[in-house]
Chains A and B, each alone.
Chain A
Amino acid sequence: MQGSTRRMGVMTDVHRRFLQLLMTHGVLEEWDVQRLQKHCYKVHDRTATVEKLEDFINNINSVLESLYIEIKKGVTEDDGRPIYALVNLATTSISKMASDFAENELDLFRKALELIIDSETGFASSTNILNLVDQLKGKKMRKKEAEHVLQKFVQNKWLIEKEGEFTLHGRAILEMEQYIRETYPDAVKVCTICHSLLIQGQSCETCGIRMHLPCVAKYFQSHSEPRCPHCNDYWPHEIPEVFDPEKEREASISKSNKRSLRSRQH
């Protein structure tokens, strides 16, 4: 039953529990996913060796394929953290959100989404979004209410807010990339390196090509003189650091130690 075959995957209780928990959490960072995987092995199959995460997930995905769902791996656009979510590939609309939000709220999201995609920076200002409340379908929404709804989006990890401006959360990009590419084929921006949807990133001022921040970090990692891969002009922006999961883990351990001293509820 433990087949770690690369062909048609075999579902065991380890995989099932993993799927259940991944679904419960919506989106998880890689570190949590690894912990989750280990937990599932511990619960159902202590003696087995924990399969490499990539293979483990590919195994599950081969079973999910016929259901048109997939465990998708993405990377947050601002700091390059790997994230995972269970995604429905068959959707042609914002169906995951549809059950959560009212018609006018969904429309607000669509308007914000359009502004974000059309913008140069990948951010849409709160003011610009709120100015569109009169155009929303469904029940009339006031600006105050719309502010509240935007916060709901942030809490549910569909949007990120930075200094009064909104952009898409990594989770939204993961889940809606297909929808976005189909709905806005002309406005959509794409990263030259990884060819995925690009919302935030850096662009070459000469030829206009764009790259995700983590893609920039990786591409220019050991270059002393970064140059545009397309037109060879100097790359004018600051090169970010490549995401290092080890450093990240240490930082979060000390953070959670402090947190657990305060709130002992778990």
Chain B
Amino acid sequence: MSEQSKDVCDLNFAAEASNSEVHSSPGVSGGPSLPASQAAIFPGPESPPVGPTDAPLASPAPQAPSEEGDPKALQQAAEEGRAHQAPSAAQPGPAPPAPAQLVQKAHELMWYVLVKDQKRMIIWFPDMVKDVIGSYKKWCRSILRRTSLILARVFGLHLRLTSLHTMEFSLVKALEPEELDRVALSNRMPMTGLLLMILSLIYVKGRGARESAVWNVLRILGLRPWKKHSTFGDVRKLITEEFVQQNYLKYQRVPHVEPPEYEFFWGSRASREITKMQIMEFLARVFKKDPQAWPSRYREALEEARALREANPTAHCPRNSVSED
């Protein structure tokens, strides 16, 4: 249980220039490093989900808060905690909403996060506030916390703040092993295969892959830039726009070349979500070779896997079976 509150607490304490003791803090209620005021804000760790609410399902429509307020929401949430000790005259504020409403907001946020993840879209904190939390901004921490709890308990997923700088969250699987899922229903996730194909080409080359090279490879799959595919649709648009938009690929003009040519690189999201070992195994499957047939790349993959394991001994390492090799 402290796993989840750790994630949400990261949100608070990171903004306050976190100290390392956060990671070992036992949990919300009773943690000695927590100022008492924060415990008051949180509705309590195991408060049972409100049963059949008679509150109408249509919650008070979230007013769109002022745009410039959103990026400051995180800071604000942190400030509140800090400033709450001092008698704050500057915050008349509305009365706190009924617990049922906070619970409902948490449910809405849970669904929102699940759908964003399903669509492989970035879960951005200001969007969360604008689209879901709305006027309940002041209680976003408790809402977030409850959402994280539900996601962990029901879905086995961790809502993690992956980057305080860009305020991005992601849903990380908390169950092991993870890799098998892709294999289980792999013929229903063609996008992953297509993407992996391109990423592994880039990886093996060790630098950007020219668009012409990518199409040479895709030709093996029967994909052509001018042909619409029954599953992928407009393949060129998919790889040059959608995958780029989702930050899985970067599509850039090659400098100093006429006529203009373009090349692909790994996007930031691919670097985060896909490990070198996954690429090696993908290559091994496709080419029916041992991953060690690419010795230098395989070495890199091993090193990356080791670094990941050391950095995150718990659930975050996506390639658990590496340790069993």
Known: A16-B175, A151-B233, A265-B197. A90 touches B107 (CB 8 A): yes
Q: How far is the CA of A39 from the CA of B183 in the complex (A)?
A: 10
8 Å CB contact of A17 from B110, B156, B183: B156
Secondary structure call for the B interface: helix
- CB pair A32–B58 under 8 Å, yes or no, is no
Report A65 CB to chain B, min CB distance, Å. Answer: 10
- CB pair A20–B155 under 8 Å, yes or no, is yes
B36 close to A (CB within 8 Å): no
List CB contacts (< 8 Å) of A134-171 with chain B.
151, 155
- CB pair B49–A23 under 8 Å, yes or no, is no
What are 15 of the A-B contact pairs (CB < 8 Å)? A11-B154, A16-B155, A19-B154, A20-B173, A20-B175, A23-B155, A28-B188, A36-B184, A36-B185, A39-B184, A67-B154, A90-B104, A263-B222, A265-B286, A266-B187
Report A59 CB to chain B, min CB distance, Å. Answer: 12
Residues of B within 8 A of A (CB): 49, 51, 57-58, 104, 107-108, 110-112, 114-119, 121, 131, 150, 153-157, 173, 175, 177, 180-181, 183-189, 193-194, 196-197, 221-222, 233, 285-286
The residues of B that contact A21 with a CB separation of less than 8 Å are 181, 184-185
The residues of B that contact A256 with a CB separation of less than 8 Å are 187
- CB pair B181–A16 under 8 Å, yes or no, is no
The residues of B that contact A96 with a CB separation of less than 8 Å are 115
How many chain A residues touch B (CB < 8 A): the figure is 42
8 Å CB contact of B156 from A13, A28, A35: A13
Known: A99-B116, A262-B222. A67 touches B185 (CB 8 A): no
Known pairs A25-B189, A263-B222, A265-B196 / 19 extra A-B pairs, C-beta < 8 Å: A17-B156, A24-B118, A32-B185, A39-B184, A39-B185, A43-B177, A67-B107, A90-B104, A92-B58, A99-B115, A99-B116, A100-B121, A155-B233, A262-B221, A265-B193, A265-B221, A266-B186, A266-B189, A266-B193
